[in-house]
C-alpha cells in the first residue's frame, strides 16, 4: 500500500510538463483538474488529482499523468491490478476475488478480476488474433 501511495503522491507534478498529442503532436491544453480514486490494499482508497488535457487541433482528450504512471483504466492501483490479474490466470475469477480479499483485505468483484485479467492479457500483446495462448501467457508472468 505504502509503495503504491508513494508512487502516486510523488508523481503529482509529473503531468505538468508540456504534453504532446499522441495523434498529431500538437501541445495539449489543460482543461482543468479531475480526480480519480484508486483502490489499494486493505480496501484503502488513494485519491489522485490530475489535469485533463485536450488537443486544440484534433480534440483528442487524455490524462498526461495517467500515461506517465502507466495507469490503466479501472478502480485499482497498478500493483493491485497486476496481482488480481495474475491470480485470475490461475484460478476461477470468483475464487480469485475471494483470495484477494483474504490476502489483501481489498474487496474486488469477480467482474473486476475478469476485466483486469483481460487488460493484462491485452497489454502483454495477447489477443485472439495474435495466437498467444493462455498457457504461453502464464509462462510470461
Ligand atoms: Zn492532436
Task: Over range 5-21, report the average pLDDT.
Answer: 59
Determine whether 137 is exposed, middle or buried from the number of CB atoms within 10 Å of its CB (0-12, 13-18, 19+): middle
Q: Is 73 helix (H, G, I), strand (E, B) or coil?
A: coil
Rounded to the nearest whole angstrom, what is the distance from the C-alpha of residue 28 to the centroid of ligand 1? 8
Domain end point (choices 52, 69, 86)? 69
* The pLDDT of residue 72: 80
* 88 and 54 together in one domain: no
Residue 57 counted as domain residue: yes
Range with the poorest average pLDDT among 34-38, 102-106, 122-126: 122-126
83 and 65 in a common domain = no
For position 1, what pLDDT does the model report?
46
Average pLDDT for residues 106-113, to the nearest whole number? 95
Is residue 116 situated within a structural domain? yes
Confidence of residue 13 (pLDDT cuts 50, 70, 90): very low
Asked whether the predicted pLDDT for residue 139 surpasses 60, the reply is yes
CA of 101 to the centre of ligand 1 (A): 42
- Do residues 82 and 122 share a domain? yes
Q: Which residues surround ligand 1, an ion (CB under 5 A)?
A: 21, 23-24, 26, 55, 57-58, 60
Q: Please tell me the pTM assigned to this model.
A: 0.70
129 located within any domain: yes
Domains held by the chain: number? 2
Amino acid at each position: 500500500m505504502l509503495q503504491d501511495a508513494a508512487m502516486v503522491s510523488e508523481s503529482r507534478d509529473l503531468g505538468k510538463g508540456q504534453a504532446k498529442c499522441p495523434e498529431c503532436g500538437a501541445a495539449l491544453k489543460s482543461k482543468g483538474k479531475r480526480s480519480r480514486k484508486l483502490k489499494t490494499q486493505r480496501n484503502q482508497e488513494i485519491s489522485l488529482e490530475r489535469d485533463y488535457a485536450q488537443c486544440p487541433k484534433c480534440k483528442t482528450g487524455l490524462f498526461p499523468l495517467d500515461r506517465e504512471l502507466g495507469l490503466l483504466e479501472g478502480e485499482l492501483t497498478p500493483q493491485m491490478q497486476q496481482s488480481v490479474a495474475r491470480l485470475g490466470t490461475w484460478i476461477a475469477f470468483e475464487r480469485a476475488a475471494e483470495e484477494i480479499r483474504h490476502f489483501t483485505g481489498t474487496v474486488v468483484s469477480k467482474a473486476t478480476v475478469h476485466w483486469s485479467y483481460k487488460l493484462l492479457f491485452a497489454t502483454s500483446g495477447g489477443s485472439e488474433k495474435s495466437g498467444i495462448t493462455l498457457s504461453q501467457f502464464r509462462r510470461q508472468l
